[in-house]
Amino acid sequence: MSDNGTPAQPLYRQIAEQIAEEIESGIRPVNSKLPSERELAEELGISRMTARAAINTLVLQGLVVRRGRIGAYVSRPKFRFDLSSPRGLHEQLKKAGVEPGAKIISAEKVLGNSVGNEIMNALAMGEQDEVYRIIRLRTANDEPIVIENSYFPAKIFPDLLDFNLTDSIYGILKKYFSITPAGSIQEMEISYLDSQWAELMGVTADLPTLEVKRYTVAEDNTPIEFAHDIYRGDRITFIARTGPTLNLGT
């Protein structure tokens, strides 16, 4: 127990918090090298196992990145994504001065009976209705940060696959189909990146992620998108707003 009666944190967490504060304050700038596990253990009088656990905690928080055998370094600041904003990821990154990008993993037109009841119900479609299934790897300044699995009803967006899908899809919907996303319901769940998506992103499979299922409607409440997105928790800070609009620098 600590002096105030609350349970004391494990030593490795205390060390991780101390280093995190030094990163936040600028004492340890971006791309600066952390002491090795051996050096940290000798400096603080702790075991190498405790030093390793502290550094691993910082890696999972996205504050530090390991660069093979050369050691651990302070990583770049996280990207910020406002889950309550009607703007898509493309627009939010642009507004923040970050260059958005996308790589098409697959894009196809399939029948409703091949995508399952959850998606058919979300898009108010039948088994023989056609739907576009688009999987993209989204990047920020060329760094992979999101896997997007999106579904759009073909009857509302004919020939959607003919457009440049590496651009903002919401921008395409507005410009060419005169439809703007007006509202959504999002279900969020914390998980870990599986090996398939980890390989695609070029990262390890144990990274924390935020999985988001999104149901989006147009201004007349017509369902226009179902999406299942996987966000890297180590590279993105998530924001959700309630009440009056606040200026948080986003």
CATH number at 24 reads 1.10.10.10
Same domain, 18 and 141: no
Looking at residue 247, its pLDDT comes to 53
Helix, strand and coil in the chain, % to nearest 5: 30, 30, 40
Same domain, 155 and 125: yes
Looking at residue 120, its pLDDT comes to 96
Looking at residue 114, its pLDDT comes to 95
Looking at residue 245, its pLDDT comes to 53
Looking at residue 60, its pLDDT comes to 80
Looking at residue 1, its pLDDT comes to 36
Same domain, 85 and 67: no
Same domain, 19 and 125: no
Residues 192, 234 contacting (CB under 8 angstroms): no
| pLDDT values of the chain reduced to their tens digit, one per residue, 250 residues | 345 555 678 999 999 999 999 998 889 998 899 999 999 999 999 999 999 999 999 988 878 888 878 889 998 888 888 877 767 888 888 888 889 999 999 999 999 999 999 999 999 999 999 999 999 999 998 989 999 999 999 999 999 999 999 999 999 999 999 999 998 898 999 998 888 888 988 888 878 899 999 999 999 999 999 999 999 888 888 887 776 555 544 4
Residue 138 in domain:
yes
Same domain, 140 and 229: yes
Contacts of 239 (CB under 8 A, 6+ apart): 80, 81, 82, 83, 84, 248, 250
Looking at residue 95, its pLDDT comes to 83
Chain centroid, CA 242 distance in Å: 21
Residue 6 in domain:
no
Domain boundary pick from 19, 43, 74? 74
Range of the domain at 134: 79-239
Please give the tally of structural domains in the chain. 2
Same domain, 112 and 222: yes
Residue 173 in domain:
yes
